[in-house]
């Protein structure tokens, strides 16, 4: 059994490693090292927490750790990069549910302690958790009730919200916003009832209040995320990441675990900041998004004129051979087709021919921030030609050819031209200003968000239909 001093020192070390991990993930070149910081920090956290003072039940804990590690390793090997957003959402749900269970357990132990004190009895069958609660003073037990309420509410909202986010990202739940009749009033009513139940519980009501509170919070999480459309799902995943952090912090207070408090606060605050940054990048109101799209645009969308004109590999290759400057815009379709290697091969061939080739990355390209950057790094695309939207958006007007690979909303001119569009005002990559635009796409569908894209009908745009990897592979031999 390790002393409390060792555990405290380990908590500081793990916290520093987590901070270094978060900081390093903002840069492609440092990202791999940052991941190792996070891995080492979590290993330190788990080890020193498991063998800290007052911890027992190893006959159950160690098998559970082994089982969890095996499941995690198998998932990590099986999950494709395209499935990472839904995996992240699923992992958030586990944190939320754990917060609910820990909060329930804490209240049951609190009631046992109070009953024993009232009877002037001494509890002999202390578990580590019960002993933790038993050593709390009366005012600390009162504060524990506040922690329990917060843990249950935040955890339950996180759990069902993350489950629905997983379903939408995985295509198992319709990506369109859907709510019950009454919409936001149902959410508001459930929130008010949750507050009343919390007040009843804090004033001595029974355990039933926590069960009903959890049920209401489960509903709020479900209904909130069901009411958010596919275009806002990247923000939702980031927002749920923040919720899971605050749920973990609430558990940390309940368990008197400093490391869990610090880690939860780091995740919660960084997730909230990222959500705000993403909302700004998408011209979304942060409060509107987290309330389920409240106050969205109204009115009929503008009619689209023209037709989608297809082009074959020969036509695209001819345009590339004549071009001096090329910009590639990757999207989720590139990830689905696993076309990043073919894209990298095309870039090397074009650059060898003396052409200027760059990538334009929208802040929410894919379904998570940095999604495209990671894929391009895996394919060994040079960092210096991968540019963010603000760095390259003004260059499209002087570019000969733009190749869009599986993107929809981030290159949709309706964001700037149609005030009634669901993405009205969202900053987008102005690819239509280039001389020629080729869109690599499987078919004529509207994409994940269900929003029609006028880009596909413009005179300087051509549709390069087919699987992105197969299309680009067929294109390579034709490029000089």
Catalytic residues: 409
Give which of 130, 409, 425, 151 is closest to 280, Cα–Cα.
425
Element (H, E) at 276: helix 258-281
Question: What number of other Cβ atoms are within 10 A of residue 135's Cβ?
Answer: 12
**Length of the chain (residues):** 480
Q: Which token pair is 226?
A: 């069901």
Cα 316 to Cα 461: distance, rounded to the nearest angstrom: 11
Cα 104 to Cα 119: distance, rounded to the nearest angstrom: 23
Cα 375 to Cα 359: distance, rounded to the nearest angstrom: 12
DSSP assignment letter at 460:
T
Element (H, E) at 122: none
Cα 179 to Cα 450: distance, rounded to the nearest angstrom: 17
The conformational region for residue 406 under phi > 0 = left, psi -120 to 50 = alpha, else beta, is: left
Cα 74 to Cα 278: distance, rounded to the nearest angstrom: 31
- The burial class, CB within 10 Å (0-12 / 13-18 / 19+), for 73 is exposed
Give which of 110, 107, 204, 104 is closest to 152, Cα–Cα.
104
Cα 349 to Cα 447: distance, rounded to the nearest angstrom: 30
Cα 402 to Cα 424: distance, rounded to the nearest angstrom: 23
- Rounded to whole angstroms, what are the CA distances from 204 to 17, 112, 309, 392, 439? 42, 14, 69, 60, 63
Question: What number of other Cβ atoms are within 10 A of residue 61's Cβ?
Answer: 12
The conformational region for residue 354 under phi > 0 = left, psi -120 to 50 = alpha, else beta, is: left
Beta 436-441 vs 401-405: how paired, if at all?
parallel
Contact of 163 with 249, CB cutoff 8 Å? no
């Amino acid at each position: 059994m390790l002393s409390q001093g060792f555990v405290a020192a380990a908590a500081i070390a793990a916290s520093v490693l987590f901070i270094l991990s978060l900081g390093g993930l903002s840069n492609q070149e440092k990202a791999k090292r940052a991941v190792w910081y996070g891995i080492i920090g979590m290993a330190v956290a788990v080890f020193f927490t498991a063998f800290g003072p007052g911890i027992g039940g190893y006959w159950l804990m160690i098998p559970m750790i082994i089982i969890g590690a095996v499941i995690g390793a198998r998932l990590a090997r099986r999950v494709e990069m395209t499935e990472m957003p839904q995996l992240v959402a699923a992992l958030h749900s586990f944190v939320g549910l754990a917060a609910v269970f820990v909060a329930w357990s804490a209240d049951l132990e609190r009631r046992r302690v109070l009953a024993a004190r009232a009877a002037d009895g001494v509890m002999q069958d202390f578990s580590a958790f019960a002993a933790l609660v038993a050593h709390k003073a009366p005012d600390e037990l009162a504060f524990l009730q506040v922690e329990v309420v917060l843990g249950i509410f935040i955890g339950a909202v996180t759990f069902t919200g993350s489950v629905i986010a997983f379903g939408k990202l995985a295509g198992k739940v319709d990506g369109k916003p859907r709510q019950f009749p009454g919409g936001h009033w149902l959410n508001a009513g459930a929130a008010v009832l949750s507050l009343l139940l919390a007040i009843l519980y804090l004033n001595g009501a029974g355990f039933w209040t926590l069960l009903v509170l959890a049920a209401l919070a489960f509903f709020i999480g479900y209904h909130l995320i069901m009411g958010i459309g596919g275009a806002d799902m990247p923000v939702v995943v980031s927002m749920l990441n923040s919720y899971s952090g605050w749920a973990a912090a609430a558990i940390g207070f309940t368990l008197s675990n400093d490391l869990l408090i610090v880690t939860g606060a780091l995740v919660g605050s960084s997730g909230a900041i990222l959500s705000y940054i993403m909302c700004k990048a998408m011209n979304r109101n942060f409060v509107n998004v987290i309330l389920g799209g409240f106050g969205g645009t109204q009115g009929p969308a503008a009619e689209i004129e023209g037709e989608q004109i297809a082009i074959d590999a020969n036509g695209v290759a001819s345009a590339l051979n004549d071009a001096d400057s090329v910009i590639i815009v990757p999207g989720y379709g590139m990830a689905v087709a696993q076309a990043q290697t073919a894209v990298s091969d095309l870039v090397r061939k074009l650059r060898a021919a003396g052409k200027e080739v760059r990538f334009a990355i929208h802040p929410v390209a894919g379904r998570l921030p940095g999604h495209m950057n990671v894929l391009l790094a895996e394919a060994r695309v040079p960092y210096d030609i991968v540019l963010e939207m603000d760095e390259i958006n003004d260059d499209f007007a002087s570019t000969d050819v733009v190749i869009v690979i599986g993107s929809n909303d981030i290159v949709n001119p309706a964001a700037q031209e149609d005030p009634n569009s669901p993405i009205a005002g969202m900053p987008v990559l102005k690819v239509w200003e280039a001389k020629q635009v080729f869109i690599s796409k499987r078919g004529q569908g509207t994409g994940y968000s269900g929003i029609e894209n006028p880009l596909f009908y413009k005179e300087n745009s051509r549709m390069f239909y087919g699987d992105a990897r197969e299309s680009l592979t067929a294109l390579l031999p034709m490029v000089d």
